[in-house]
Amino acid sequence: MADTTPMNPRNLDLRCYFVTGQGPDVVERAVEAAHGGAGVIQVRSKPISARELYSLSSAIAAQLPPESIVLIDDRVDIALALQDAGVHGVHLGQDDLDPREARRLLGPDAVIGLTTGTLELVRAANELEGVIDYIGCGPFRNTPTKDSGRKPIGLEGYPALVEASRLPMVAIGDVTVDDAYALAGTGVDGVAIVRGIMHADNPRAYCERVVAEFDRGRGALA
């Protein structure tokens, strides 16, 4: 389990955070990732229809271990529709529904994340403490899976962002298992991975290695 800190009152295990991509075996990869230690599975398989996203999210949630946290990318309506089917909340981008409105709709027990990636956005997210539960922060490096329009943060950029944040932070943006140790050393609470897990020959073993490397890096930081 992740370390409990005052900044993480829900004790979310963010060390290995799997953001799904596209492919015929997304459900199987999500299940294997969860059994390998991915504490959060964010279902993001653009561009598919709302109905397809609903079906995919439902299938993933139904097969994950009970301790897994399942979030929907962007779509508060689908997260709300699947609250009784094992979906715990939503991850919002800067252009999505206002997090306050998402909290009102999803209720106090939902998990809500928000994308950031600059000092200005991190400080703005601090004003949502008590509304959102964590922030994603990226891109770590340029990535073909999503163009945020923001400059890459790099290893050297994260310590200042961590220091400024009052919320748990997950690094994202072309992160791989080989980055987990060094990123843990910057003080982030976890790493979000898309392609590394989607392309891994063994997603479970890949996630086990992410968790082990992150814990090793966190230990060095201490």
Domains and CATH numbers, the chain: 16-221 (3.20.20.70)
Contacts of 29 (CB under 8 A, 6+ apart): 18, 20, 23, 197, 198, 200, 203
pLDDT at 2: 39
pTM, full prediction: 0.94
Give the dihedral of Cα atoms 34, 112, 189, 27; nearest 10 deg: 20
Query: In this structure, are residues 60 and 72 in contact, taking their beta carbons and an 8 Å threshold?
Result: no
Which of 210, 219, 207 has the alpha carbon at shortest distance from 65?
Answer: 207
Query: In this structure, are residues 137 and 116 in contact, taking their beta carbons and an 8 Å threshold?
Result: yes
Which of 207, 205, 191, 68 has the alpha carbon at shortest distance from 60?
Answer: 68
Query: In this structure, are residues 161 and 153 in contact, taking their beta carbons and an 8 Å threshold?
Result: yes
For the chain, list residues with pLDDT below 70: 1-7, 9, 145-147
pLDDT at 142: 84
pLDDT at 7: 67
pLDDT digits (tens, 9 = 90+) for 21-44: 999 999 999 999 999 999 999 999
pLDDT at 57: 98
Please work out, in degrees rounded to the nearest 5, the angle formed at the alpha carbon of residue 215 by the alpha carbons of 177 and 206.
Answer: 30
List the beta bridge partners of residue 70: 41
pLDDT at 46: 81
pLDDT at 146: 63
